[in-house]
């Protein structure tokens, strides 16, 4: 076993930090370490927390962590920040988050630099969850900004996804969250002491009602593009039989109001996911998504190594319009399959 892996299993905080860094930076050692850790995973509860900027995600996450800590549970936090696709550095990474827990040895916090390439962020988040999980952490909280495809992918890492909203953030802001809405297992309407909290609850109820109808109908017509027909069928089945209606909990994180009730709602979804047939089917579906996504990333990595400069030569040929990019790609794939192994 890799030395870092055995120290992570022994809950050595420095090794945990090291392993998280290996995963985030995708260093060469990360895959052997993850292979060693995998058999010890599957025990942590993974909670995704997402929502628009300004909804109060960090404050609410802070309260949820307090709640879990009060039950003697250990917590790992993965905070995903918006960053540049060019620099690879987290622009908000230096912001000190959740200072309350900075000196609590039962809380590990890791900020993730979002990277400029598709698929990488959710892969990193998922692998970091595994590091925490193998280290025996009880709760892994993954906090993301709730906009865009990346964040939707990341929520798929979680057993339970909490979507945090606040009253009066505007219709257009709500509309953009359409994708996130459908990943939500529990809604929090934070800042519920403000005007418009009840109307926000009604909006969410409406979106839930509309969503479950249209989702079943649409998934019958066409499944996720990367999935097989059989898989699309499984999804429809899941939808048709799942009876989880996302609860909506009003709270005021700043004053710690409604947080206990929110934690209970989260816990109910956790139990549903672990103990009902529908919940377990969903978890298997997530794992299937992961295998496909890992395969996607690993394929391009392997092809890049095997093809080397041929990719650059192809770019030149396409630029010169000697070949179209579609034919060129087919030729590259054939070259990859027949290339010597190494």
DSSP state of 39: G
Shortest separation between residue 18's beta carbon and its own copies, angstroms? 18
Residue 12 backbone phi and psi in degrees, to 5: -75, 115
Closest CB to its own copies among residues 17, 173 = 173
CB of 189 to its own copies, least distance (A): 18
Work out whether 21 is an interface residue with its own copies (CB under 8 A): no
Region from 12-20, 104-112, 142-150, 187-195 binding its own copies, contact rule CB under 8 A: 142-150
Tell me whether residue 199 or residue 329 sits nearer to its own copies (CB atom).
Answer: 329
62-101 residues in contact with its own copies (CB under 8 A) are 82-89, 91-92
- Using CB under 8 A, pick the residue from 135, 140, 145, 154 that binds its own copies: 145
Place of tokens 């962020």: 121
Q: Under the criterion CB under 8 A, does residue 10 sit at the interface with its own copies?
A: no
Q: How far apart, in whole angstroms, are the C-alpha atoms of residue 131 and residue 153? A: 19
User: What's the min distance (Å) between Cβ of 283 and its own copies?
Assistant: 8
Q: How far is the CB of 184 from its own copies (least distance, A)?
A: 12
- Do 142 and 129 meet the contact criterion of CB atoms below 8 Å apart? yes
- Sort residue 261 into left (φ over 0), alpha (ψ -120 to 50) or beta: alpha
Pairing of strands 186-189, 160-165: parallel
108, 134, 105: which is closest to 9 by C-alpha? 134
User: CA-to-CA distance for 30 and 334, rounded, in angstroms?
Assistant: 29
95 versus 264: smaller Cβ distance to its own copies: 95
Question: Cβ distance 136 to 74 under 8 Å?
Answer: yes
The sheet with strand 139-145 has its strands ordered as 107-113, 75-81, 139-145, 45-51, 160-165, 186-189, 248-250
Instruction: Of 81, 52, 65, give the one whose Cα is nearest residue 256.
Output: 65
In angstroms, the Cα distances linking 202 to 68, 98, 170, 205, 207 are 29, 31, 14, 5, 9
User: Among residue numbers 199 through 228, which ones bind its own copies (CB under 8 A)?
Assistant: 211, 214-215, 218-219, 221-222, 224-226, 228
Rounded to whole angstroms, how far apart are CA atoms 233 and 312?
41
Provide, rounded to whole angstroms, the least separation between the CB of residue 157 and its own copies.
13
**Cβ-count burial of 38 within 10 angstroms (0-12 exposed, 13-18 middle, 19+ buried)?**
middle
How many amino acids of this chain bind its own copies (CB under 8 A)?
A: 95
CB of 264 to its own copies, least distance (A): 27
Asked if 89 contacts 113 with a C-beta cutoff of 8 angstroms, the reply is: yes
Nearest distance in Å: CB 163, its own copies: 14
Taking CB under 8 A as the binding criterion, the range among 99-107, 132-140, 260-268, 312-320 that sits at the site for its own copies is 312-320
Contact mark string toward its own copies, 176..195, x via CB under 8 A: x-xx-xxx------------
Rank residues 14 and 280 by Cβ distance to its own copies and give the closer one. Answer: 280
In the bound complex, what is the minimum distance in angstroms from residue 232's beta carbon to its own copies?
A: 11
- Within residues 233-272, the interface with its own copies by CB under 8 A covers none
Q: How far apart are CA 307 and CA 25, in angstroms?
A: 23
Q: Select from 7, 101, 115, 250 the one that contacts its own copies (CB under 8 A).
A: 115
Least separation in angstroms between residue 72's CB and its own copies is 27
Among the listed residues 175, 240, 260, 271, the single contact to its own copies using CB under 8 A? 175
Can you read off the two tokens belonging to residue 185?
Answer: 């297992």
Contacts of its own copies in 272-311 (CB under 8 A): 284, 287-288, 290-296, 298-300, 302-304, 311
The interface with its own copies within residues 151-170 (CB under 8 A) comprises 151-153, 170
| Choice between 13 and 42, CB closer to its own copies | 42
Instruction: Give the integer Cα–Cα distance in Å for 139 and 335.
Output: 45
């Amino acid at each position: 076993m890799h030395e870092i892996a055995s120290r992570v299993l022994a809950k050595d905080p420095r090794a945990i930090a090291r392993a998280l860094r290996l995963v985030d930076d995708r260093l060469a050692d990360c895959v052997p370490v993850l292979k060693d850790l995998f058999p010890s995973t599957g025990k942590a509860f993974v909670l995704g927390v997402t929502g628009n900027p300004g909804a109060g995600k960090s404050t609410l996450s802070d309260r949820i962590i307090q709640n879990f800590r009060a039950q003697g549970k250990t917590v790992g936090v993965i905070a995903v920040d918006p960053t540049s696709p060019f620099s690879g550095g987290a622009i908000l990474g230096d912001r000190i988050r959740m200072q309350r827990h900075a000196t609590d040895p039962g809380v590990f916090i890791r900020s993730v630099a979002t990277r400029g390439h598709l698929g990488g962020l959710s892969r990193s988040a998922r692998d970091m969850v595994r590091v925490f999980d193998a280290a025996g952490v009880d709760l892994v909280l993954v906090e993301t900004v709730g906009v865009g495809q990346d964040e939707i992918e990341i929520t798929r890492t979680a057993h339970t996804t909490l979507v945090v909203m606040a009253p009066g953030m505007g219709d257009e802001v709500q509309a953009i969250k359409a994708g996130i809405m459908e990943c939500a297992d529990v809604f929090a309407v934070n800042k519920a002491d403000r005007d418009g909290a009840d109307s926000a609850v009604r909006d969410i109820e409406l979106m839930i009602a509309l969503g479950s109808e249209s989702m079943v109908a649409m998934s019958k017509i066409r499944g996720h593009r990367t999935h097989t027909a059989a898989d699309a069928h499984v999804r429809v089945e899941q939808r048709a039989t799942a009876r989880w209606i996302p609860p909506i909990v009003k709270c005021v994180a700043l004053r710690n109001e409604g947080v206990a009730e929110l934690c209970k709602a989260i816990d109910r979804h956790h139990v549903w996911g672990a103990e009902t047939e529908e919940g377990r089917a969903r978890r298997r579906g997530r794992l299937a998504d992961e295998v496909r996504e890992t395969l996607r990333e690993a394929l391009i990595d392997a092809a890049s190594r095997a093809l080397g400069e041929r990719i650059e030569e192809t770019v030149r040929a396409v630029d010169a319009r000697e070949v179209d990019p579609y034919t060129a790609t087919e030729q590259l794939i054939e070259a990859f399959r027949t290339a010597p192994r190494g």
